Amino acid sequence: MVRDLDAAGTTIYVAFEYRRVQCPHCQAVKQESLNWLAKSNRFTQRFEDFIGKQCREMTVKRAAELNRISWDQAWRMDKAYMRRLLEQNPPPQQLRAIGVDEVSVKKGHTYAITVATLEPGEERPIWMGGEGRKEEDMNLFFEAMGYERCQSIELIVMDMWKAFRNAAMTYAPQARIVFDKFHVLRHLSDALDEIRRSEYKRVSEKERQFIKGQRYTLLSHKANLDIKGRRALRMLLKANKRLHKAYLLKESFDQLWAYNNPTWARKFFENWKDQLRWQRIEPFEKFAAMIDRHWDGVVSYCHPDNKVSLGFMEGLNNKIRVIQRRAYGIKDREYLMLKVITSFIKEP
């Protein structure tokens, strides 16, 4: 007797008999396989699929309560449903463009690596794993994809983490490396925040009132601020010339990714660096030196063939954080991986 889909609010069970046969070769008694029965042999396949689809929209606890089953049963059915969904939708055979990033999975600097395909219109995560963000963790992805898929990779979007680059050059040496715009701008925002803190310590008590509590205002784009935020920003920039100059430089640097010609991009960057002279903003000078060291990966995006969605990986990280909050208390790495990857797969 196995549980089936409810009907009119009534719990339905299906009673049936198995056929058992004795194998003439191995003399073992075997039970027939029924494709409408879940592998757990306690539910029908369609009931298991129903629970899995519910868990895409709500927590496991809520799905268990609605269907009057235990939390463990709902969790196991959700996991089995996602495994089947992933088997039916494997990674593409041709991985022209991929994005690589790490995500925090637990407190204490515990990370996992996420990889997504960035082909326009087909963006979705295809792998999540590793025990950190070391080179050997990144190697696990390339080994899982196989030789043919690795050779089809033409473009890899990543941050400036050396371990990722080393793994990519080992398994996909033909691929072009593009450094993620959002990671680069994060370094620039950190430099601006360092200037803000140093100015807060340097100025008098009277001038500190314009800087205190304005971290978000200073680091946000002006278009994202409300009227109150724009007024506070205007007062802050008027009160502190050094922060004013640093803010204008931060806002203008975003223009670098609008160029389609590496030569013009380099001219823009040289002009941007020239504006740092005599400004006493050392954090920006360190940032410019870092960009110089990684220039090939930064300017690579200017090539027309390398124009892919740089914001997808950032959006994916936000979605993973939402999934982690919904799955609070579940420490199963495989379950988290299945949730992340199947969240972008359409239901059959």
Which tokens in the block code for residue 42? 């306690």
State the helix-helix crossing angle for 162-171 and 135-145, rounded to 10 degrees: 30
> What average pLDDT score do residues 286-290 get?
94
Distances (CA, A) of 186 to 50, 61, 198: 42, 37, 18
Nearby residues of 337 by Cβ (< 8 Å), 6 or more positions away: 112, 128, 129
> What average pLDDT score do residues 263-289 get?
91
Give the pLDDT score at 73. Answer: 93
Residue spans of the domains in the chain: they are 2-88, 97-180+312-342, 182-304
Residue 236 pLDDT level (bands cut at 50, 70, 90): confident
Return phi, psi of residue 13, to 5°.
-120, 145
pLDDT of residue 329 exceeding 60: no
Contact between 112 and 130 under an 8 Å Cβ cutoff? The reply is yes
Give the pLDDT score at 108. Answer: 67
Give the pLDDT score at 145. Answer: 93
From 97, 96, 126, 105, select the one nearest 114 (Cα to Cα). 126
Residue 56: what residue type?
A: R
The pLDDT tens digits for 82-91 are 999 999 999 9
Give the pLDDT score at 153. Answer: 93
The pLDDT tens digits for 9-28 are 899 999 998 888 888 888 89
CA angle, residues 249, 253, 254, in degrees to nearest 5: 135
Residue 252: what residue type?
A: S
The pLDDT tens digits for 70-85 are 999 999 999 999 999 9
Share of the chain above pLDDT 90, in %: 50
Q: What dihedral angle (degrees, nearest 10) is formed by the CA atoms of 223, 306, 134, 109?
A: 10
Give the pLDDT score at 265. Answer: 92
Give the pLDDT score at 278. Answer: 79
Give the pLDDT score at 220. Answer: 87
The pLDDT tens digits for 168-187 are 999 999 999 999 888 999 99
Which tokens in the block code for residue 35? 């494709």
Contact between 51 and 74 under an 8 Å Cβ cutoff? The reply is yes
Question: 132 exposed, middle or buried (CB, 10 Å; 0-12, 13-18, 19+)?
Answer: middle
Look up residue 251 and give its DSSP letter. H
Give the pLDDT score at 100. Answer: 93
Rounded CA gap, 197 and 173, in Å? Answer: 42
Sign of CA dihedral 199, 200, 203, 208: positive
> What average pLDDT score do residues 132-159 get?
92
Q: Which residue has the higher pLDDT, 44 or 121?
A: 44
Label the pairing between strands 155-158 and 176-179.
Answer: parallel
Look over the chain and give the mean of its residue pLDDT values, rounded to a whole number: 89
Distances (CA, A) of 242 to 23, 251, 272, 276, 280: 84, 14, 16, 11, 8
According to CATH, what is the number of the domain 97-180+312-342? 3.30.420.10
Question: Could you tell me where the DSSP H helices lie in the chain?
Answer: 45-55, 60-67, 71-88, 135-145, 147-152, 162-171, 181-202, 205-211, 215-219, 227-239, 241-253, 262-274, 282-293, 295-299, 311-326, 333-342
Residue 126 pLDDT level (bands cut at 50, 70, 90): very high
Contact between 288 and 276 under an 8 Å Cβ cutoff? The reply is yes
Give the pLDDT score at 320. Answer: 87
Residue 330 pLDDT level (bands cut at 50, 70, 90): low
- What is the pTM for the complete model shown? 0.84
Residue 196 CA, distance from chain mean position? 29
Residue 330: what residue type?
A: I
Q: What dihedral angle (degrees, nearest 10) is formed by the CA atoms of 281, 286, 292, 294?
A: -140
Return phi, psi of residue 255, to 5°.
-65, -20
